[in-house]
Structure 1
Amino acid sequence: MDIDIYSPDSYTSGIPHEQFAWLRANAPVYWHAHPDGGGYWVLSRHADVTAVSRDFKTFSAQRGFVMVDEMPPDILTMTQSQLLGMDPPQHGPIRRAVISRFTSRMLAALEPRVREIARGVMESARCGDPVNFVDDLAGDLPTAVICSLLDIPEDMWPQIRRWSDLQTSGTDPDLGGTPEEVTQASIDMGTYGFQLASERKGRGGDDLITLLIDQEVDGHTVSEMEFASLFVQLTVAGNETTRSLISAGMHELLKRPALYQQLLAEPAGLPQAVEEMLRWTCPLHYFRRTATCDTEVGGQKIAEGDRVVMLYSSANFDEEVFASPLDFNIRRDPNPHLAFGHGIHLCLGANLARMEARVFFEEFFRAFGDGIEAVGEPVFIRSNNIHGFKQMPVVLTRAA
């Protein structure tokens, strides 16, 4: 098979399942050419992705960051200050600082606010005419939730979303900008985060910024500069991935009206259904690691310095782990998907995203019942990293 899973054009119709299935069956550790003249190893099986995710000593996130493309030294240095691009020991204290604020108790206390935001989204949605479900419904909730958590002024929310879109969708001509604009968006966003941290340090507020910047973990206090990088990661992840989950999850239900009606009648089944939406939609296709020494994966020798790409959207359809993986099964159990990654870099906001998706569907069902109709095929973001829609035309009708 002619394998090309680097080109963003390979993803404009969704996950390239045929290529991924061939890789899992024939070349689970596959050397893939890169346009820079080098190459990288692609891991397509669940077991290999999981093993590399766990072995942070052999496979570093910090050495080359998490994107497959090599970065200029100055940009790499900037990205390595993000939690996503840190290895231990720098990684641990900052992650624990954030995790301590995303407790089950905090999420339970936050749910009424998330529900209030979701109801506002439903109330403002236009009915009777086509709307873009991605921007007009699915995108509003996560932006509002993360910005509310951080107590960002509401007039800044559109700017936060624009900065986020530039950084995640730079290869899509409809959403991204020039490489210079993408870099500038990251710098501007980090600068804004630094400014917020500086303003709130020692003020005794109860927003997430103040709680993070004022606490000490393992003798380490999160600095304003560390928070600036963390701010970029929290806001970008809090926007894009949850928007993709909600949009693609709704699309799969609309393609299967019986499942939609099942959840409409029994919304208690939503938590399990959300797990299948996560497996199926997998908001990120991959993250990269860099080998810190000569090693081996799946019997294949890997040299120190080699790039290793963990293909989550292939691992989530591994026939060795998931029965009938191409069936969208909202009662799948167990469901050990890797949509949130694995190991020490497991997504910090995983349970927040789960709660947002559940509340969104509960409030959507309450407001619209089965009053939603797809009026066109969704259009995917042109990206080899982000798996999500940029357009999903629907018509809404409010429940009687």
Structure 2
Amino acid sequence: MTTTELDVEQIDIYNPDNYIDGVPHAQFQTLRQQSPVHWHDHPDGGGFWVVSRHADVMAVSRDHQTFSAQEGFVLIDDLPEEVLPMVQGQLLGMDPPNHGPIRRAVISRFTSKMLAELEPKVREITRGILQAAHNKKDCNFVYDVAGELPTAVIGSMLDVPENMWHQMREWSDMQTSASDPDIGGTPEQVTQASIEMGTYGFELACQRKDQPGEDLISLLINVEVDGRKIDEAEFAGLFVQLAVAGNETTRALISTGMYQLIKHPELYQQLEADPSKLKPAIEEMLRWSCPLHHFRRTATTNCEIGGQQIAKGDKVVMLYSSANFDEQVFDRPEQFDIGRDSNPHMAFGHGIHLCLGANLARMETRIFFEEFFTHFKGIELTGEAKRIRSNLVNGFKEMPVRLIPR
């Protein structure tokens, strides 16, 4: 469908069915060109502003005083009263001044030095996963291969018992992919998953408070920043964010990246022959994968975006998947270009809420492809890849492949 065939008033970015066959880029392009700050009705009443251009998404991301993450949280839908306070304890749902000290505590554990020290462990985990994949040549690449790495890495960093890793991933998927009948559940089940995951994080924090340890939980719960420590309740929300982001982002990045390489075998061959080209290639994979389509902010005052007046209390939805394909920023955005020189994508967000694990995800993905090319001489689709039914999570749930070992 071309943009000339679309009526901007008929565009629906909320309905998760519109994401099953792929990211609705034609709709996003129409919004950028015809209504870059667009009022969108919500099926349950009311509505929200959709911000689709790169410059406007960046502007909203930077202005945390005008556009709050904490007021109402970051999802389009309002959350149940019993869940909202807990998710507001996640960094992504905090505003300053609460946000700063906790973020500094976490970011101090994701330094370049720490990542360099972690790299051998990530490589060891990756090799084990790929060696095991030799015995399951026909598999669902998303969960059987790509999803194993981030789960094992974040589980190891948090020193969560290995027999709980699968449960962490189930809790994570239940919350982020609730609209997909194959992954999510009823609203009550989703709420229960969120409560159970936060409670488990609280219990781990209580166990490791004032105890020696080099795992991420011990380091975070016992560190003092700006004269205060993270308490157990604060860590519960932080645990949910770390576990969810640690699973979802890298799994989507690796899966989408591999899918694009399968569809462009000449690019696969280029990277296989010269893995040093992976750095710009991973940035392009990020631009395409963009693990989350959007996040919401709430206007704290009457304001203006791109010439459009916004009222205090209005929901403002930053459409990252559109911003990453903005023709005003990206040359030939519809082309998957692993050598793209300028790539200011917002796959990890922007501003004070830039994803904490961005460089960890990049490292995991680089190591994964380096080791994959060593362990396997090929990969091919054996069926249709199926996407998650979600207007929030951007990724595949099924990618049937055949792995060809060396």
- TM interval, shorter chain, is over 0.9
1:80 is aligned to 88
Structure-2 separation of matches of 1:11 and 1:60: 27
Tell me the TM-score normalized by structure 1.
Answer: 0.98
Instruction: Trace 1:264-279 onto structure 2 (pairs within 5 A).
Output: 264-279=272-287
Task: Find the counterpart in structure 2 of residue 201 from structure 1.
Answer: 209
Partner of 1:92: 100
| Matched ranges for 1:175-190 at <5 A | 175-190=183-198
- Match among 209, 213, 219 for residue 221 of structure 2: 213
Letter in structure 2 aligned against 1:231:
F
1:45 to 41, 44, 53: 53
Aligned ranges for residues 1-400 of structure 1 at < 5 Å? 1=7, 2-126=10-134, 129-369=137-377, 371-399=378-406
The alignment covers a number of residue pairs equal to 398
Secondary structure of residue in 1 paired with 2:402: strand
Which one-letter code corresponds to 1:322 in the other structure?
F
What does the per-residue CA deviation read over 1:47-90, in whole Å, with 9 as the maximum and x for residues that have no partner? 00000000000000000100001123332222111111000000
- Describe the superposition over 1:115-163 as per-residue Cα deviations: whole angstroms up to 9, x where unpaired: 0010011011145752100011000000000000000111111111111
Counterpart of 1:380 in structure 2: which amino acid?
R
Equivalent position SS for 2:180: coil
Secondary structure in structure 1 of the residue aligned to 2:394: coil
Give the match's secondary structure for 1:394: strand
Q: Which one is further off, 179-188 or 309-318?
A: 179-188
- Give the Å deviation of 1:361: 0.5
Q: What letter matches 1:125 in structure 2?
A: A
| AA of the residue aligned to 2:397 | K
Distance 2:239 2:48 in 1: 30
> Does the 8 A contact of 2:137 with 2:404 survive in 1?
no
**Could you tell me which amino acid in structure 2 is paired with residue 378 of structure 1?**
A
Q: Structure 1: how far apart are the matches of 2:138 and 2:82?
A: 44
The 10-residue stretch of structure 1 (141-150 or 76-85) with the greater mean CA deviation from structure 2: 76-85
Question: For structure 2, which runs of at least 5 residues remain unmatched after alignment?
Answer: 1-6
**Counterparts of 1:17 and 1:71 in 2: how far apart (Å)?**
28
Q: Deviation above 3 Å: which 4+ runs of structure 1?
A: 126-129
Partners of 1:160 and 1:134 in 2: CA distance: 16
How far 1:377 sits from its partner (Å)? Answer: 2.0
Q: Distance in 2 between matches of 1:46 and 1:291?
A: 19
**Structure 1 counterpart of 2:47, one-letter code:** G
Question: CA-to-partner distance for each residue in 1:168-216, whole Å, 9 max, x for gaps?
Answer: 1110000111111111111111111111111111111100000001110
* Contact preservation (8 Å) 1:263, 1:269: yes
Q: Is the 8 A contact 1:66 1:287 kept in 2?
A: yes
Q: In the TM superposition, what is the alpha-carbon distance from 1:6 to its structure 2 partner?
A: 0.2
Once residues 80 and 214 of structure 1 are traced to their aligned partners in structure 2, the CA distance between those partners, rounded to angstroms, is: 21
Please provide the CA RMSD for this pair: 0.9
For residues 170 and 73 of structure 1, what CA distance do their matches in structure 2 show?
Answer: 18
Which piece of structure 1 moves more, 137-146 or 194-203? Answer: 194-203
Counterpart amino acid of residue 263 in structure 1: L
Give the Cα separation in 2 of the matches to 1:75 and 1:176. Answer: 17
Matched residues in 2 for 1:350 and 1:13: separation?
A: 27
Query: Displacement, 1:381?
Result: 0.3
Q: Is 1:279–1:339's contact at 8 Å kept on the other side of the alignment? A: yes
Alignment partner, residue 4 of structure 2: none
Structure 1 alignment gaps of length 5 or more:
none
Distance 1:185 1:128 in 2: 30
Query: Cα deviation per residue 1:222-279 (whole Å; 9 max; x = unaligned)?
Result: 1011111100000001001110110010000000010000000000111110000000
Q: Structure 1: how far apart are the matches of 2:81 and 2:312?
A: 19
Aligned to 2:3: none
TM-score (normalizing by structure 2): 0.97
The alignment partner of 1:81 has SS state of coil
